[in-house]
Structure 1
Amino acid sequence: MDSLLSSLFSLEKQELHILNCMAYFMMVMAACSFVALLFDKVPYGRYASSKYGFPVNVRFAWFVQELPAFLVPLCLVIWTSCAKTSLPPNQLLIAMFFCHYVQRSLIYPFLIRGGKPTPFISFVLAFVFCTYNGYMQIRYLSHYAEYPAHWVSHPCFITGSVLWLVGWLVNVHSDHILRNLRKSGETGYKIPTGGMFEYVSGANFLGEITEWAGFALAGHSAHSLAFATFTTVVLTSRAVAHHKWYLAKFENYPKNRKALIPFLF
């Protein structure tokens, strides 16, 4: 893989420049997505529509679309000369990324019960994003990211790491609650309860947003910030849409429950 990257980028400075441009482009796409999502919902799950292409089996879609975010980083770490992977901050940040995507690509899809098919266009866009982001995050962390001595004891790194862990736990626990809403043979939607769902409609989204906000704080780079920003834009839109949908569908939906931020929003 080193030879492939060398053929694409004659100088390391050139590749770093490209990685930086990728981060800035993701920020631009986050802004564009923010505007677009004011007029439409992210088209998968309960908002899936045939206008976004033919349906793809939900388990297959989740497995394939998330897999590049695991496989691309794995190839970069194993088959390239990783100049920075011996450093503790880089190791821990890479581990955070892998931990999320091992769960999301290799475990989560096979736990899905039912679920509406994913429109083909949504599936392709998710696949492209995971490939793009997987390369950007891990290539930067494994080959270019430089941190001050003892960065792992810096308040930003410690706070970010704690936020990441809390967010990851909330995300995984919330997914568990959603999977177990219906008993075997039951169909239809139910009101989620327990965990952070007692406070917000988008508990799983809150968990993932918190994860990547913590990752961005600990990583202290344009690349991690771009990822956290894009994730926040997309998942905030989805949390708000879910909240409105729940309120419209269930007369007994808890009125004190917020969309995404407990007691506030």
Structure 2
Amino acid sequence: MLVSILLSFSFPASTSLFITALSVINLTSSAYIGFSEVRGKHLLYSKFWNAISSESGRRKGEQIILSSRTGMLFLYTPPFLVGLASFVLFPLQDLRILLLVSAITLHFFKRVLEVLFVHKYSGGMALDSVIVISSGYFVSFASMIYAQYLTQGSSEPPVDLKYPGILLFLVGISGNFYHHFLLSKLRREEDDKEYRIPKGGLFNLVICPHYLFEIIDFLGISFISQTLYAFCLTLGSVFYLIARSYATRRWYLSKFEDFPEDVKALIPYVF
């Protein structure tokens, strides 16, 4: 029953062994990394950049540390270039493929612009984390575009989600940018490294509204795509962002005695 419902919202499963295997790998690896976040084994960026990796036993001083701006550019530039190159390398005759490539390119172009002109940084990024995240973004979104091309000639899903997907994507990318902008306003000067409790927007209800809107953004992209690969990638991202938001709220509780108990991690009034 569940399978038949899922198939009504997606293209037939890809016959590509590579795409099938990568779908499983993306889902399981994202869930594992999310579980590690809950257990305190963080990817070393943002406020967790100076954490000690209990798995390797290495301290921050023994790791290669990049500036946050450099690290973030390494994260987001490769998938942005993948999207940009797709306009040149492939004939975008199908509307759904054109929408998907446009959404992916715009998503990461916004990220690059935020890195250069919006974000203010408190520390660095461990090279290990940069490599993991950057390679994951590059492979995942290049494969999403490839999986979409494999659907050419296939019958459309019985339920068309691409137009609701466009709406979700626009809401998600706008809300994510707005809350990133609010975070940047917490630091008045570029060399201000102090953390403060965010206010404004949905920060009065949840500590990670930027993650909430990122999930909406990814849902929009998967609705535009409607491939099983895109749904698996989005589900894995949801697992990770839920865990990261939980770890973030726990961090704020440990750092600020006046952190409001009624401010949730990700979903207002719920979680």
Give the TM-score band, short-chain normalised. Answer: 0.7 to 0.9
Separation in 2, partners of 1:186, 1:23: 41
- Which whole-Å CA distance do the structure 2 matches of 1:86 and 1:62 have between them? 33
Distance 1:223 1:74 in 2: 21
Which residue matches 2:136? 129
Matches of 1:31 and 1:231, distance apart in 2:
8
Counterpart of 1:71 (choices 71, 78, 81) is 81
- Is 1:102 the counterpart of 2:109? The answer is yes
Q: Structure 1 pair 158/72, CA: closer, same or farther in 2 (3 Å)?
A: closer
Q: Which residue of 2 aligns with 1:11?
A: none
Q: Give SS of 1:252's match.
A: coil
Cα deviation for residue 19 of structure 1 reads: 2.2
The aligned amino acid for 1:41 is H
More helix by share: 1
Are 2:20 and 1:20 equivalent residues in the alignment? yes
Maintained 8 Å contact 2:34/2:242: no
> In structure 1, what residue type is equivalent to 2:70?
F
* Distance in 1 of aligned mates of 2:24 and 2:206: 31
Report which structure shows greater RCO (CA 8 Å, sep ≥6): 2
1:56 is paired with a residue of what secondary structure? strand
* Counterpart Cα distance in 1 of 2:70 and 2:245: 24
Runs (5+) with no aligned partner, structure 2: 1-13, 53-57
Identity percentage over the alignment? 20
Q: Cα distance, 1:224 vs. partner?
A: 0.9
CA separation in 1, counterparts of 2:66 and 2:15? 35
The match for 2:45 is 44
Checking the alignment, whether the CA contact within 8 Å between 1:55 and 1:119 is kept in structure 2 is yes
Task: Report how many aligned residue pairs link the two structures.
Answer: 246
1:203 aligns with 2:209: yes
The runs of 4+ residues in structure 1 deviating greater than 4 Å are: 145-149
8 Å Cα contact 2:38/2:244 also seen in 1: no
- SS in structure 2 at match of 1:118: strand
Query: CA separation of 1:140/1:181 partners in 2, compared to 1, >3 Å: closer, same or farther?
Result: same
Deviation at 1:56, TM superposition (A): 0.5
* TM norm structure 2: 0.81
What are the equivalent positions in structure 2 for 1:111-126 lying under 5 Å apart? Answer: 111=117, 112-126=119-133
Change in CA separation of 1:145 and 1:235 when aligned onto 2, cut-off 3 Å: farther
Separation of aligned partners in 2, 1:145 and 1:24: 22
CA distance in 1, matches of 2:259, 2:32: 32
SS at match of 2:164: helix
Matches of 1:192 and 1:56, distance apart in 2: 26
* Structure 2 match to 1:56: 66
1:182 matched residue in structure 2: 187
| Residue in structure 1 matched with residue 6 of structure 2 by the alignment | none
Q: CA 1:122/1:187 → structure 2, altered by over 3 Å: closer, same or farther?
A: closer
How far did residue 32 of structure 1 move?
2.6
- 2: CA distance, partners of 1:260 / 1:43: 20
Tell me if structure 2 keeps the 8 A contact 1:73–1:139. Answer: no
Cα distance in 2 between the residues matched to 1:194 and 1:146:
48
- Equivalent AA in structure 2 for residue 132 of structure 1: V
The residue aligned with 2:9 is: none
What is the Cα deviation at residue 180 of structure 1?
Answer: 0.9
Deviation of residue 147 (structure 1)?
6.5
Distance in 2, Cα, partners of 1:224 & 1:215: 8
Q: Is the 8 A contact 2:79 2:141 kept in 1?
A: yes
The structural deviation recorded for 1:159 is: 2.6
